[in-house]
Structure 1
Amino acid sequence: MKLPKIDEVIIKTLKIKDLKILHLSDLHINKKTSSLVIKELVSKCNRTQCDFIVITGDIIDCKVKFIKEKLQLLNDLKQKTYYISGNHDLFYGFKELKEVLTNLICLDNSYEILKIKNQNIAIAGLSDRFSKFFKIKREEKKVVEFLKSCENSILLAHQPKDYTFALRCNAKLFLCGHTHGGQIFPFHYVVKLFQPFLNGIIYKNQTAIYVNRGLGCWGVDFRYKADSEISLLKLIPKEVK
């Protein structure tokens, strides 16, 4: 895993404003991942001014028992950090991952109300779409109904195709990952067969969508025309026509 510089991304949202979110995704930490790289990542995050951090799935890419000490380094993140499951997390052991990440907040099928800069902001998350194959109940209705009752809301999910739930509950911001931005061109076109969005900002109705290209790699440790990404999302008011 090679760390990129932090990209500042301006996102226009209704209601929510003056918020800074550090968005990470798809770390894919495995046996080959260097502890020094993770320490560098934590240090980079801790030096960045933001209101909170989100990690939108696929933190691990092997069984937790082989990388426990590396994962524990993430507990040194100083800012409040939320995360949700990705398909790889479920496959390699999400229960074990949660037991290690003692300083981070799991938002799978749950929610929280934040008070930031005189704004009440609801943040919620969905477990990955593969949850049912691991006998994990995905509580979509509970999350949607709660966010519907909140004026300012943010939804986290691993896969872009879950943006439909953000639209259902009028979430102002939907954050996800999973695609790696295609990782290796021209596989971008294959990803587009399965996901509605590849990377970057998309606006649908009242919802701003951001698809993070992620940090790690899947299959081969190589990227082409799909650089890795750490994003500092800066929310500004959207003009209402």
Structure 2
Amino acid sequence: VDPAPRAPAPPAGPSRRLFVSRVVGGAAAAAAVGTVGYGTYGVLRGPGVKRVTVPLARLPRAAHGFRIAVVTDVHLGPVLGRGFAQKVVDTVNSTQPDLIAVVGDLVDGSVKDLGPAAAPLAQLRARHGSFFVTGNHEYFSGAEQWVREVRRLGLNPLENARTELPHFDLAGVNDIAGEREGEGPDYVKALGDRDRGRACVLLAHQPVQIHDAVDHGVDLQLSGHTHGGQLWPGNLVAGAANPTVSGLERYGDTQLYVSRGAGAWGPPTRVGAPSDITVIELASREA
């Protein structure tokens, strides 16, 4: 004899549905808080070091292994202050670079307010010196004053200018945001009369400046600006607005390296885009 059919379970009442929804919502909230908390901890503890080798066709054998420490998007301000600047400086110096490139968005505020926070930059040490170009945030914060201040701290501003190092040229251009003040990038001034037989590294804050770098025969452009996306939905915005969001890519005969940056803008939180100071090691094909 077949057993009697089992009666269907009564539908879940409102109290059970409410309980389940609260459990799911609570778990999602806990995961979000944990993720943001870990992302904030990652920013506040300071950037890690990333190492990338970049071969340059015109680099002579004598410059093989030349190391450039790339520092971008420190964003000193009310949250990331002098202590954070000291962490950045100590991390850079620990890599013992041949040259230091500070590629814009150093600050979010005036020299009057943030001068003490930036003071540790005077401790940067590299055999061929430290160089600086403006980012868009410098133009929100008084770019002219900051150029004077970083020079006072021992950095060499490259305002649409070039310096000839022993084995390659180092050039820098102002950020695009400077165009509003008549101080935008001038590639002809920085690169127009250079010897094209020498390798050239360009400091330019925004990755979109790569197209002008290609036109002027630059071998390698070093940029920041994107923060690697920092956190959602910033990654979507960064990807739509920039040709490269992070890492090394080639555009014709020019390579572009984009650092994720040392600090953070807005909430001091990164998710999926950890901060970094990148040590670029140049490689000669003659070596």
> Do both proteins adopt the same fold according to a TM-score greater than 0.5, normalized to the shorter chain?
yes
What residue identity is the alignment partner of 1:7?
K
Deviation of 1:205 after TM superposition, in Å, equals 2.2
Q: Is 1:37–2:88 an aligned residue pair? A: no
Are the aligned partners of 2:223 and 2:259 in contact in 1 as well (CA < 8 Å)? Answer: yes
SS at match of 2:201: strand
Match of 2:160 among 109, 113, 131: 109
Q: Is 1:69–2:139 an aligned residue pair? A: no
Matched ranges for 1:39-58 at <5 A: 39-58=86-105
Structure 1 residues 41-69: Cα deviation after superposition (integer angstroms, max 9, x where no partner): 21222222211000110000112211111
Are the aligned partners of 2:71 and 2:278 in contact in 1 as well (CA < 8 Å)? Answer: yes
Q: How many residues align?
A: 235
SS at match of 2:74: coil
Bigger radius of gyration = 2
CA distance in 1, matches of 2:254, 2:65: 17
Deviation of 1:140 after TM superposition, in Å, equals 2.3
Provide the residue aligned with 2:145 in structure 1: 96
CA distance in 2, matches of 1:40, 1:132: 33
Match of 1:158 among 201, 205, 209: 205
Q: Is 1:127–2:178 an aligned residue pair? A: no
Q: Is 1:10–2:61 an aligned residue pair? A: no
CA distance in 2, matches of 1:33, 1:178: 17
Which ranges of 4 or more aligned residues in structure 1 deviate by more than 4 Å? none
Provide the residue aligned with 1:190 in structure 2: 237
CA distance in 1, matches of 2:247, 2:77: 26
Are the aligned partners of 1:30 and 1:62 in contact in 2 as well (CA < 8 Å)? Answer: yes
Name stretches of at least 5 consecutive residues in structure 1 with no aligned partner: none
CA distance in 2, matches of 1:34, 1:82: 21
SS at match of 1:65: helix
Provide the residue aligned with 2:284 in structure 1: 237
Structure 1 residues 45-101: Cα deviation after superposition (integer angstroms, max 9, x where no partner): 222221100011000011221111111210111221111000101111111112222
- Structure 1's 59 and 152: CA in aligned 2 closer, same or farther, altered over 3 A? same
Higher helix share: 2
Name stretches of at least 5 consecutive residues in structure 2 with no aligned partner: 1-42
Higher strand share: 1
SS at match of 1:27: coil
CA distance in 2, matches of 1:35, 1:4: 15
Are the aligned partners of 1:57 and 1:89 in contact in 2 as well (CA < 8 Å)? Answer: yes
Deviation of 1:14 after TM superposition, in Å, equals 1.2
Provide the residue aligned with 2:4 in structure 1: none
Provide the residue aligned with 2:219 in structure 1: 172
Q: Is 1:209–2:252 an aligned residue pair? A: no
TM-score normalised according to structure 2 size = 0.77
What residue identity is the alignment partner of 1:30?
G
CA distance in 1, matches of 2:137, 2:195: 29
Q: Is 1:224–2:271 an aligned residue pair? A: yes
CA distance in 2, matches of 1:238, 1:205: 18
SS at match of 1:62: coil
Provide the alpha-carbon RMSD of the alignment.
1.7
Deviation of 1:12 after TM superposition, in Å, equals 2.2
Q: Is 1:59–2:110 an aligned residue pair? A: no
SS at match of 2:202: strand
What residue identity is the alignment partner of 2:134?
S
Are the aligned partners of 1:160 and 1:177 in contact in 2 as well (CA < 8 Å)? Answer: yes
> % of aligned pairs identical?
28
TM-score normalised according to structure 1 size = 0.91
